[in-house]
Amino acid sequence: MAAPDLKVFSGSSHPGLAQEICDCLGIPLGRSHVVRFSNENLKIKIEENVREMDVFVVQTSAPPLSEGIMELLILLDALKHSSARRVTAVLPYFPYARSDKKDEPRISITARLMADLLATAGADRVLTIDLHSPQIQGFFSMPADQLTAVPVLCEELAKGDLRDTVIVAADVGEAKDAGRFAKQLHLPIAIVDKRRTGDDENAIARAIIGEVRGKRCLLVDDEIATGGTIFSAAEFLLSEGATSVSAAVVHPVLSGKAYERLAGSKLERLLVTNTIPIPDGKKADRIQVLSVAPLIAEAIMRIHDGRSVSALF
């Protein structure tokens, strides 16, 4: 049983994951109530005492995204003004994580803005999983712990037959993460050279660095959004002589026409985690979802007890 001064609350984006975390910790999910007025304003009331408590708020980035962000900020503010001793924002998938640099004139580095908003709302620290870019940790004025779900994915992958398998980075920027998979699974690595133009999220594979002919390829990436990168890479790898292609991805954003693309693709399996909920009506046989609840629960206990979080990875 967790310490009596530990509480976990959930926003509306992923209550299932928050409940799983509480089950791992052996504590009930904190009680709160959300009212949505006719003018779309939100009112959130904390329905139990949190004075001098160590509180964690679980809210991931899922539709409706902007409402979820606002709900999180109000939750943090309500808890802070209810005299919680410490409030930690738990964001399994960090909002606006891909807006991490000023690569065009007159745009916002919105990931940094999110960090500032969390601090202003009252977050004392942040806990997240596999940021799109490591420099995002530097945007925070408070402690920010980044977990990785790569060991969770690797543990499941290791249960299968990995003979003649090669880890493939979906693009050059993912090579470092692919290296982490390759190291844990003791497999060779290859890299797809893709090119992206504009903001249309479409990427085209141009070349392959490494040997994939006659191999079973495992594409890895930190997230899958519309699926342009993964599905075009799968087609390209098969055209280059790969015998089969599967994918392992941390964040299943699966936006736009991703599900339709998956249905028409030659991808054998898509292994993901539950950092983002997959709607019941959208679940497909080829999608296998692994839970990050035990990982997050262990990190919460380490933060609560003052132990190292980095020891987890």
Indicate which residues carry an active-site annotation: 194
Q: Is 223 left (phi over 0), alpha (psi -120 to 50) or beta?
A: beta
Span between the terminal Cα atoms of the chain, in Å:
24
Measured CA to CA, the distance from residue 284 to residue 307 in angstroms comes to 39
SS3 173: helix
DSSP result, 83-139: T-SEEEEEESS-TTTT--S--STT---HHHHHHHHHHHHT-SEEEEE--SSGGGGGG
Instruction: Give the CA angle between residues 37, 40, 42 to the nearest 5°.
Output: 65
Measured CA to CA, the distance from residue 54 to residue 88 in angstroms comes to 8
Radius of gyration from C-alpha coordinates of the chain: 20
Structure tokens at 118: 């969390």
Question: What are the beta bridge partners of residue 191?
Answer: 169, 209
Supply the angle between the helices 293-305 and 15-25 in degrees, to the nearest 10: 60
Structure tokens at 168: 């493939």
Cα torsion at 222, 173, 190, 252 (round to 10°)? Answer: 20
Look at strands 32-36 and 42-46 and give their pairing. antiparallel
Structure tokens at 220: 């890895």
